[in-house]
Amino acid sequence: MNPTVWLIGAGPGDPELLTLKAVKALAQAEVVLVDDLVNPQVLEYCPQARIVRVGKRGGCRSTPQEFIQRLMLRYARQGLRVARLKGGDPCIFGRGGEEAQWLSDRGVACEIVNGITAGLAAATSSGIPLTLRGMAQGVTLITAHSQDETTPDWSGLARSGTTLVVYMGVAKVQDMSSQLLAAGMAADTPVAMIERASLPEQRLCPSSLAAMARDADAFQLRSPAILVIGQVAACRMFGIADAPPLAEPAARPLRRQA
Amino acid sequence: MNPTVWLIGAGPGDPELLTLKAVKALAQAEVVLVDDLVNPQVLEYCPQARIVRVGKRGGCRSTPQEFIQRLMLRYARQGLRVARLKGGDPCIFGRGGEEAQWLSDRGVACEIVNGITAGLAAATSSGIPLTLRGMAQGVTLITAHSQDETTPDWSGLARSGTTLVVYMGVAKVQDMSSQLLAAGMAADTPVAMIERASLPEQRLCPSSLAAMARDADAFQLRSPAILVIGQVAACRMFGIADAPPLAEPAARPLRRQA
């Protein structure tokens, strides 16, 4: 099966959270289709490539999914090395599965390059571990804004005892809070709402399950944001932010072995 | 707060899944404490560092957690640049939260560097998207083998409708299967059991909720392995494995801006 498209996770924002594999693929791409949520600094790794912006955020909801897929297919059939850059990871709320399947059905293979998902980076950079012995035995990544109009089973989630990490939840904070309270989750369950995860302008709004709607409002919380709900949200692995910035290392090969 | 220790996620195994930030920190480290599950190839990024192996796997369960923490503290207080390399991500079943807090209580700041978690890489490299519109609205990462002897609420998890990704579950396959069946999850729910995720020797054992114990046994499934339970486990985003290997890119700086 040939040609090939790379579906690349650009990570949460900080360009240093790109993987070596992503950098390697970007360096070889001839056309790069870029989503809105991707930090433009990431494009410094593919100065040779033609950049096509295919974001779907904002007022005009411009580029339909079908059009993006057809565009990838057309470039791939022209024999170009095509990369598609998505925020976070392509297969966690990124439609990577759909796109890979659609392209595969038309004879185009995909290579998926994992990225650090925004929920993980948001928590870590706020000093919150997603799992912690004796406190959170697991973590659930969920979206409040589903594309197929179904809602998560908040009651099952409340009972699961896992840390809940909610993507695309800013518009549904009140609803989420009510549902989880109704499902029996404690009103004082800690919540952390994190705007623009991993970027210098990241903001953290600490709250609780009962107060999160009011607090988000007072904080003027805006998308993109990640909501962390669970006991670990009260953790602040203190001292993290005080780490000195990393200096430039000596030049090193991206990979040693064949 | 000074000095500083880096807690670094080494990713699932494939050294190309390291982040740029991890490579940069490794290049500056003077002492690197390495867990068992870390691919030794990752150490090629820190040839200058003294390597201390602190694995806990296997028969002798050699290095107690407290000892590892004291070792990090001692090196940090000697003024050395200390890195601790963990498989996957430090804060997803990696004790990163505990260690950061312990060090912080003793005046040592931590910088946590995220890594690609094994469950994500295992799924992706098997052609499985963890979320998919109309099929899986979220994903739960959970460990079957809890360190504090509590068991997950399988019934809540079954109801959550999320894809379940189970870490350290090889010894508990039968138990997990029974509990999820008892919680009402369908017997034919697809399951994928993935051994040695992201490495060349990765193996995939496709199964179902009812048959997973028998299949794991026949397959001689060994740790480390990841179990993916849910409708998406039947997906094979076809063609992924056919992607041509990436060539060596031109040398590029790890970071452009200050």
Residue B189 in contact with residue B157, Cβ under 8 Å? no
Look at B110 and A148 and tell me if their CB atoms are within 8 Å. Answer: no
Does residue B56 have an active-site annotation? yes
Cα–Cα distance list, A89 to A46, A162, B130 (Å): 19, 21, 10
Is residue A114 helix, strand or coil?
coil
Residue A108 in contact with residue A4, Cβ under 8 Å? yes
Query: What number is the average pLDDT over the span B34-55?
Result: 94
- A134 Cα to chain B: minimum distance (Å): 6
Euclidean distance between CA atoms B148 and B225, whole angstroms: 21
The reply to whether B15 touches chain A by the CB within 8 Å rule is yes
- B73 Cα to chain A: minimum distance (Å): 14
B240 has pLDDT over 70:
no
Look at A153 and B134 and tell me if their CB atoms are within 8 Å. Answer: no
Here the tokens at position B151 are 């068991």
Look at B18 and A19 and tell me if their CB atoms are within 8 Å. Answer: yes
The reply to whether B238 touches chain A by the CB within 8 Å rule is yes
The reply to whether B98 touches chain A by the CB within 8 Å rule is yes
B59 has pLDDT over 50:
no
A116 has pLDDT over 70:
yes
A245 has pLDDT over 80:
no
* Farthest-apart Cα atoms in chain B, separation: 57
Look at A160 and B152 and tell me if their CB atoms are within 8 Å. Answer: yes
- A48 Cα to chain B: minimum distance (Å): 11
Does residue B21 have an active-site annotation? no
**Which of the residues B92, B103, B108, B159 would you substitute to probe the A interface, choosing the one with the greatest number of A C-beta atoms within 10 Å?**
B92
Residue A79: predicted pLDDT:
94
Q: Considering only CB atoms, which chain A residues are within 8 Å of B112?
A: 124, 237, 240
Residue B1: predicted pLDDT:
46
Q: Looking at A8-12, B55-59, B74-78, B220-224, which range is the least confident one?
A: B55-59
Euclidean distance between CA atoms A159 and B153, whole angstroms: 7
pTM of the model: 0.91
Query: What number is the average pLDDT over the span B116-124?
Result: 97
- The position carrying tokens 């796109």 is A99
| Contacting B residues, span 182-201, partner chain A, CB-CB under 8 Å | none
Pick from B19, B140, B155: which is nearest to A18 by CB? B19
Proportion of chain A above pLDDT 70, given as a percent: 86
Q: Considering only CB atoms, which chain A residues are within 8 Å of B240?
A: 100, 109-112
Average pLDDT score over chain A: 88
The pLDDT-based confidence of B238 (bands split at 50, 70, 90) is low
ipTM field? 0.90
Cis-peptide, bond into residue A206, ω within 30° of zero: no
Does residue A86 have an active-site annotation? no
Euclidean distance between CA atoms B44 and A172, whole angstroms: 46
Pick from A2, A110, A240: which is nearest to B240 by CB? A110
Residue B63 in contact with residue B55, Cβ under 8 Å? yes
Pick from A100, A247, A257: which is nearest to B237 by CB? A100
Euclidean distance between CA atoms A34 and A36, whole angstroms: 7
Residue A217: predicted pLDDT:
97
- The position carrying tokens 């995720």 is B197
**Which of the residues A73, A113, A162, A231 would you substitute to probe the B interface, choosing the one with the greatest number of B C-beta atoms within 10 Å?**
A162
Residue B90 in contact with residue B110, Cβ under 8 Å? no
| Residue B257, burial from CB neighbour count under 10 angstroms (0-12, 13-18, 19+) | exposed
Euclidean distance between CA atoms A209 and A85, whole angstroms: 34
Q: CB atoms < 10 A from the CB of A215, how many? A: 17
Euclidean distance between CA atoms B229 and B240, whole angstroms: 21
Q: What is the 3-state secondary structure (H, E, C) of B90-115?
A: CCCCCCHHHHHHHHHHCCCEEEEECC
Residue A57: predicted pLDDT:
56
Please count the residue pairs, one from chain A and one from chain B, whose beta carbons lie less than 8 angstroms apart: 305
Pick from A104, A115, A130: which is nearest to B239 by CB? A104
> Rounded to 10 degrees, what is the CA torsion of A20, A21, A22, A27?
90
Pick the residue from chain B with its C-alpha nearest to A236: B101
Catalytic choice (A21, A24, A36, A56): A56
The reply to whether B141 touches chain A by the CB within 8 Å rule is yes
The pLDDT-based confidence of A193 (bands split at 50, 70, 90) is very high
pLDDT, tens digit, 9 for 90 and up, residues A136-165: 999 999 998 765 666 788 999 999 999 999
Euclidean distance between CA atoms A60 and A57, whole angstroms: 8
Euclidean distance between CA atoms B250 and B247, whole angstroms: 10
| Residue B222, burial from CB neighbour count under 10 angstroms (0-12, 13-18, 19+) | exposed
Euclidean distance between CA atoms A48 and B92, whole angstroms: 36
Euclidean distance between CA atoms B202 and B192, whole angstroms: 13
The reply to whether A102 touches chain B by the CB within 8 Å rule is no
Euclidean distance between CA atoms A187 and A207, whole angstroms: 11
B48 has pLDDT over 50:
yes
pLDDT, tens digit, 9 for 90 and up, residues A44-102: 999 999 999 997 654 455 578 899 999 999 999 999 999 999 999 999 999 999 999 99
What radius of gyration, in Å, describes the C-alpha atoms of chain A? 20
